[in-house]
Amino acid sequence: MKRILWTLSSVLAALGIAAAVLITLNLRGEEPLPTVETLQSTPVLVQRGEYLARVGNCMACHTTQGGAPFAGGRGIETPFGVVHSSNLTPDRVQGIGNWTSAEFWRAMHHGRSKDGRLLYPAFPYPNYTQVTREDSDAIFAYLQSVPAAPDANRAHALRFPYNTQAALAVWRALFFAPGAPSAEPAQTAEYNRGAYLVNGLGHCTACHTPRNALGATSDAKAFTGGLIPVQNWYAPALNAAHEAGVKEWRTDDVVALLKTGVAPQGSVLGPMAEVVFRSTQYLSDADARAMAVYLQGLPQQDRKAPATVAAPLASAMARGGKVYEQQCAQCHGDRGQGEPGAFPALAGNRAITLADPTNLVRVVLQGGYLPATAGNPRPHGMPPFQQTLSDEEAAAVTTFVRNSWGNQAPGVGTIEVYRARERRGM
pLDDT of the residue at 33: 87
In this structure, the answer to whether residues 164 and 272 fall within a common structural domain is no
| Average pLDDT over every residue of 222-240 | 89
Question: What are the φ and ψ backbone dihedral angles of 126, each rounded to 5 degrees?
Answer: -60, -20
In this structure, the answer to whether residues 169 and 287 fall within a common structural domain is no
Please tell me the total count of domains within the chain. Answer: 3
**Buried (b) or exposed (e) across 97-109, using 16+ Cβ within 10 A?**
eebbbbbbbbbbb
Domain annotation covers residue 14? no
In this structure, the answer to whether residues 208 and 286 fall within a common structural domain is yes
In this structure, the answer to whether residues 262 and 326 fall within a common structural domain is no
Q: What is the DSSP string of 135-152?
A: HHHHHHHHHTTSPP--PP
Name the pLDDT band for 21 (thresholds 50, 70, 90). Answer: low
For residue 216, give the DSSP letter: -
Length of the chain: 426
In this structure, the answer to whether residues 167 and 47 fall within a common structural domain is yes
Domain annotation covers residue 419? yes
| Average pLDDT over every residue of 92-96 | 97
Q: For residue 236, what are the CA distances in angstroms to 240, 246, 261, 274, 421?
A: 9, 12, 16, 16, 21
Cα–Cα distance measured from residue 338 to residue 344, given in angstroms and rounded to the nearest whole number: 5
Domain annotation covers residue 22? no
Q: What is the CATH number of the domain that holds 139?
A: 1.10.760
Question: What are the φ and ψ backbone dihedral angles of 361, each rounded to 5 degrees?
Answer: -60, -40
pLDDT of the residue at 426: 45
In this structure, the answer to whether residues 250 and 284 fall within a common structural domain is yes
- Write out pLDDT tens, residues 28-81: 777 888 888 989 999 999 999 999 999 999 999 999 999 999 999 999 989 999
Q: Give the domain extent around 233.
A: 189-296
In this structure, the answer to whether residues 292 and 228 fall within a common structural domain is yes
Domain annotation covers residue 284? yes
* pTM, to two decimals: 0.90
Percent of the chain with pLDDT over 90: 78
- Of the candidates 296, 330, 351, which is a domain's last residue? 296
CA-based angle 312:417:372, to the nearest 5? 110
Nearest one of 177, 274, 233 to 360, comparing CA atoms:
233
**Buried (b) or exposed (e) across 375-409, using 16+ Cβ within 10 A?**
ebeebbebebbbeebebebbbbbbbbbbbbbebeb
Percent of the chain with pLDDT over 70: 91
In this structure, the answer to whether residues 56 and 139 fall within a common structural domain is yes
SS3 368: strand
Domain annotation covers residue 308? no
Cα–Cα distance measured from residue 258 to residue 275, given in angstroms and rounded to the nearest whole number: 9
- Write out pLDDT tens, residues 157-216: 999 999 999 999 999 999 999 998 889 999 999 999 999 999 999 999 999 999 999 999
Domain annotation covers residue 16? no
